[in-house]
Amino acid sequence: DAAVAAPLLSASHTKMAAVESALASVMSDEAVADVAVAARDAAALLKGARPWMEFFEVFKPPVKTDVEKRMATNMLHYRANYCQIMIGFFAAAALTSPRLLFALALSALVSLVILVAKVDSFDVGDQRVHLTRRNRAIAAGSMSAFFVVLISGLLWLLLVVLVGGVLCLGHMALRPRTLAAKYNAATEDVRAMLFGGTTVSGD
C-alpha cells in the first residue's frame, strides 16, 4: 500500500507546486502577500464562532444604561457568528436572484484580475498610471458596483443584507452578556490600556 501511495502523494505535491507557480506568475508579490494575510484572517475569524445553542440561548431587554456595553461585548464575543449570518444572507440574496448572482460572479472575476494581476503600471496617453494597492482597491470596488448596478439586483441585495444587519444588531442588544463574553471584553480592555486603543467599555 505504501508503495502505491508514495507515487500518488508525490504527484499531488507536484501538481500543487505547479498551481502555486502558475499563480505566482500572474500575481504581484504584494497581491500574493495580501491574499495570504486575508485568507489567514478570514479563517481565524470564522473559526471562532460560538455554539449556536449558546447564541440563541436567552434574550432579555437591556437596562437603558447597559445597552452600549452589552452591544460592544456581544459584538466582540459573537463576531464570527455575525459574519456567518451576514454571509448567509448575502448568499441567499444572490441565489434567489439569477441576475444578481451573475453580476456578483462577474464582479468577483474582474476584481480578482485587477487585484492580483502582475502589472505595476500602464500608460494612458502620455501619463503613466501606477497600480498601487489603493488604486487597485478603488478600481475593483468601482467595477463591482458598476456591474451590480448595471445588471440590476442592487436593491434586493441591499434589502436582504439590511435585514441580516438588523437581526445582528437586535441580537447584540437583547442577548445578555455571558461570563465568557465579559472575560473577553475585560481582556480587550486590558490590552487596549497596555498597548493603546479604544476599550470595549468605552471608558
Does residue 170 carry a pLDDT above 90?
yes
Going by pLDDT thresholds of 50, 70 and 90, the confidence category of residue 112 is confident
For 132, the grid coordinates are: 498601487
Q: What is the pLDDT of residue 82?
A: 93
Give mean pLDDT, residues 29-43: 67
What gap in Å lies between CA 182 and CA 168, rounded to an integer? Answer: 19
Q: Which long-range contacts (CB under 8 A, 24 or more apart) does 30-33 make?
A: 30/133, 31/115, 31/116, 31/117, 31/118, 32/116
For 116, the grid coordinates are: 492580483
Q: What is the pLDDT of residue 12?
A: 53
Are 145 and 103 in contact by the 8 Å Cβ rule? The answer is no
Supply the mean pLDDT for the chain.
Answer: 74
CB count within 10 Å of CB 157 equals 19
Does residue 17 carry a pLDDT above 60?
no
